[in-house]
Amino acid sequence: MLTIHTADEGGAVAVEGARVVGVGTLAEIQDRFPGARVRSWPGVLGPARVHEGPLPDAPSPRERIHAVLKSGATAVLAEHVDSPELRAAAERNGVEILARPRPMALVDRGRADLAVFDEAGTCIATVCAGRLLHRLR
């Protein structure tokens, strides 16, 4: 399903499956994809983050990965994925395991990893490989 994600600042990202199919202003993206579902978020929309430190403590590997997603990250560093269970939880959710940090960007045909943050820096929503995996409100 084609979905346009937009936020208060007016930027928009069109997502189909796990890929970005358009980036621009909301008006530009709606012109390119008339009839697409629009999800409007309060805050600032941008690329998801790479979680570069140790993963948050939690009772289970699934909850540790969910804590990463709640922070607006969709990638973690391999050095911090220290068990087969944690690796499996990351892979089940589409969280990338990277050998080293890299810049994240929203580009046409790129992987649809994006996040929305409010003015206080709290993550409102995280989309990982095109799937909404965290929503605060």
Q: What domains sit in the chain, N to C, each tagged with a CATH number?
A: 2-45+104-135 (2.30.40.10), 49-98 (no CATH)
Amino acid found at 109: R
Tell me what pLDDT residue 96 has.
98
pLDDT in tens, the chain (137 residues): 899 999 998 899 999 999 999 999 999 999 999 999 999 999 999 999 999 999 999 999 999 999 999 999 999 999 999 999 999 999 999 999 999 999 999 999 999 999 999 999 999 999 999 999 999 86
